Amino acid sequence: MVEDRRTKRTRRALSDALVALVLERGFTALTVEDIAERADVARATFYSHVQGKEELFARVTSDLMADLAERTRPAITENAVGFTGKPLLELLRHAHDERDRYRIVLRGEGDGKPLHMFMDSLAQAVAEEFRVRAERNGVTPRIDAELLARVWVGEQIAVLQWWVSQDTPPMPAEEVSRMLLDLAMYGRYWASGFDLPG
């Protein structure tokens, strides 16, 4: 039990050190020694947990995604039809709470691999939810679920990049989720100010 707590503390210290240093210097400039020194662990201790800084960054990203999945699960499962805006609101709140981790992933540090990992995971989860929702409600999607998920996730990533890159969010999470819900419901034509045909 003590070992588990110590392991968790060390992993958290390494993750926190990576995040802080990437924000300060960028991922490319970092060395294992830099991360170990910031985390206050020996180099050997670093390698007992991960093989290198790339694996550590991948772990930071996968932990972020696992935490996000846990946060959004209730908002997804409580509504059979969907399009409530609640999962998106939870995503924004999570990004606010984990702003620095989102920043280093969303700005494409580490040759963009963590960003692609994040986008692919999110797109797979969204596509599966779209398929389940369509089946549950007896509807046939007019656009392929994979493509639809990629479009939806692409919009969310672009908004997140803009939203977390600033020291103060340009608008509240609730307002962003409401606007994107309206966009999902009524489309870009309506959102641009035009009346819907018919």
pLDDT digits (tens, 9 = 90+) for 32-48: 999 999 999 999 999 99
pTM: 0.90
The structural domains of the chain, ordered by start, are 1-49 (1.10.10.60), 53-191 (1.10.357.10)
Q: Which residues contact 163 (CB under 8 A, 6 or more apart)?
A: 92, 95, 169, 170, 176
Integer Cα distance of 192 and 48 in angstroms: 54
More confident residue, 108 or 4: 108
The type of residue at 27 is: F
Give whichever of 79-93, 108-122, 164-178 has the largest mean pLDDT.
108-122
Output the six-digit token pair for 121.
Answer: 């995971």
Integer Cα distance of 148 and 164 in angstroms: 24
